[in-house]
Structure 1
Amino acid sequence: MTLPIITADQRLAEARGVKGVLVGRWGLGKTYQLWTLDPATTLFVDIEAGDLAVKNWPGDSLRPRTWDDCRDLAVFLGGPNPALRDGQYFSQWHYDQACLKYGDPKVLDRYRTLFIDSITVAGRLCLQWCKGQPQAFSERTNKPDMRGAYGLLGQEMVAWLTHIQHARGRHVWFVGILDERTDDFNRRYYELQIDGSKTGLELPGIVDEVITLAEIPAAEGKPYRAFVCQTANPWGFPAKDRSGRLDVVEPPNLGLLMTKLGAPEAAAPSPSSTH
């Protein structure tokens, strides 16, 4: 057996995907960004059931309604993790079970981009499931123990997000709601709206890109919508760009952003190219 070295040429030739999270306040048009992606190769994972803004979008969608659905779809979309044992979620055993449930995984070959809306609602489904698990009850009194439930929530959500992130040949965008808060000194800060703190703290380390869709104050005139893409931004929005290709502010168009990130195939075709 030889040392399994991956050469630079092999690494560069590998199919890679952009992994990112798009956050923003209610009503700014996060779900509407689906219109900027190629409907022929994009799969809309509609956990939020809030697809009114994209009702006429011509692409395909899935609608998981339970945490079990979310986990089964994650392993079906991302494949098995060979490091896990039979009986564990995201293992080969779990993948085989998902294939029995959903059919031949080759049906997914056409999808290059996953648009998952939203991790906020996925967290709620996960917490609901966690509340019914043994860890959510005190061993001594058998009464509900929310500390145990939230501890399990963090483990489950991070494992789910990490597994989908490892779908190496696909682009993945998680959508989340951003909350504006103030601390004890009346200073404003922002955080992801999701149950428990572990997921929000660890998510930026899981993905390559953290993009905030925000309303930016203009020097003159009305505020304008834009993507905030770099950590060092004057408004304190959560943002991160591992590619080094994005400016602090980019136009609010996910397809154009993907083109700048080196994935032009993810963008919706321009009207001129469809004729």
Structure 2
Amino acid sequence: MEALMLPIITADQRLAEVRGVKGVLVGRWGLGKTFQLWTLDAESTLFVDIEAGDLAVKDWPGDSLRPRTWEDCRDIAVLLGGPNPALRDGQSFSEAHYAQACRRYGDPGELSKYRTVFIDSITVAGRLCLQWCKGQPQAFSEKTGKPDTRGAYGLMGQEMVGWLTHIQHTRGKHIWFVGILDERTDDFNRKVYELQIDGSKTGLELPGIVDEVITLAEITSGDGPPYRAFVCHTANPWGFPAKDRSGRLDLVEPPDLGQLMRKLGAPEAAAPNPPSIH
């Protein structure tokens, strides 16, 4: 009996593949993270509005989805990334889950016109996930039947990482997750910045899942006035979370996501004219 072999992908085939940028954009409240939609091509961008905080982009002419439950978020993920054939029926992102999501939402081919998916925000997605997890059997003690906080948070970590990883495997699209950045002071009186999300597992593993981690920050340089910018390198003097797997970005880039993506090699696309931001 001949052994089955996985098809070998040649270098030419790999280089010819259509790939997308996978990144997370973080920053404090009010700096204009959601506003970055205005820098993207509206016709080819899908806004996944989990936060229901679209006032800054209410006139943005693109399409949007508004998931309100964790089940909605998982369905969108499987429609974007397709089914994982390695998973069993009954598991999220399996063939059965994909078929169920298709029956619920319709033809997933409708999503093919979107080149970029802008998911705002991962912070609120985490809240929806934790709320769902608290109702699952793992969130209750087998002996007493009482709520088990450790079990709920453990399940949340698995769910969030699985969700993020599945969306990240959507090869032909650019995926941007938006998150809120928390600032705290550690035991040595130093500023520490962390992704605002329930539980620790998601925040710890997220940088390893995506290609780019970009912080939108207000920076003070010398005696000049503060200015908004993207911080893109892990080794930065402010201690912001950042990572550039491409090697194409400078330490600080203009706060324009469309321009940043073009520098990362994304194709040129016309963005709508945004209103001014202060």
Tell me the TM-score normalised to structure 2 length. Answer: 0.95
Is the CA contact (8 Å cut-off) linking 1:259 and 1:267 kept in structure 2?
no
Provide the rounded CA distance (Å) in 1 between the counterparts of 2:196 and 2:13. Answer: 39
**Which residue of 2 is the match for residue 264 of structure 1?**
267
Any idea what SS the aligned residue of 1:32 has?
Answer: helix
Tell me the CA shift for residue 106 of structure 1: 1.1
Among 116, 121, 129, the residue aligned to 2:119: 116
Provide the rounded CA distance (Å) in 2 between the counterparts of 1:5 and 1:107. Answer: 31
Q: 1:269 to 1:47 in 2, by over 3 A?
A: closer
Tell me the CA shift for residue 82 of structure 1: 1.1
Tell me the CA shift for residue 154 of structure 1: 0.2
Provide the rounded CA distance (Å) in 1 between the counterparts of 2:269 and 2:102. Answer: 26
Among 15, 22, 26, the residue aligned to 1:23: 26
> Which aligned pairs between 1:178-197 and structure 2 lie closer than 5 A?
178-197=181-200
> RMSD value over aligned CA atoms?
1.3
Point out where structure 2 has 5 or more consecutive residues left out of the alignment: none
Q: 1:239 to 1:140 in 2, by over 3 A?
A: same
Point out where structure 1 has 5 or more consecutive residues left out of the alignment: none
Matched, 1:207 2:213: no
Matched, 1:237 2:240: yes
1:145 corresponds to which letter in structure 2? D
**Which residue of 1 is the match for residue 164 of structure 2?**
161
Is the CA contact (8 Å cut-off) linking 2:38 and 2:273 kept in structure 1?
no
**Which residue of 2 is the match for residue 51 of structure 1?**
54
Matched, 1:172 2:175: yes
Provide the rounded CA distance (Å) in 1 between the counterparts of 2:117 and 2:198. Answer: 23
Provide the rounded CA distance (Å) in 2 between the counterparts of 1:239 and 1:84. Answer: 32
Any idea what SS the aligned residue of 1:109 has?
Answer: helix
Provide the rounded CA distance (Å) in 1 between the counterparts of 2:272 and 2:10. Answer: 34
Tell me the CA shift for residue 228 of structure 1: 0.1
Residue identity (%) = 84
Among 96, 100, 106, the residue aligned to 2:99: 96
Q: 1:194 to 1:266 in 2, by over 3 A?
A: farther
**Which residue of 2 is the match for residue 61 of structure 1?**
64
Tell me the TM-score normalised to structure 1 length. Answer: 0.96
Any idea what SS the aligned residue of 1:158 has?
Answer: helix
Provide the rounded CA distance (Å) in 2 between the counterparts of 1:209 and 1:64. Answer: 25
Provide the rounded CA distance (Å) in 2 between the counterparts of 1:14 and 1:252. Answer: 29
Q: 1:118 to 1:20 in 2, by over 3 A?
A: same
Provide the rounded CA distance (Å) in 1 between the counterparts of 2:111 and 2:73. Answer: 16
Q: 1:128 to 1:267 in 2, by over 3 A?
A: farther
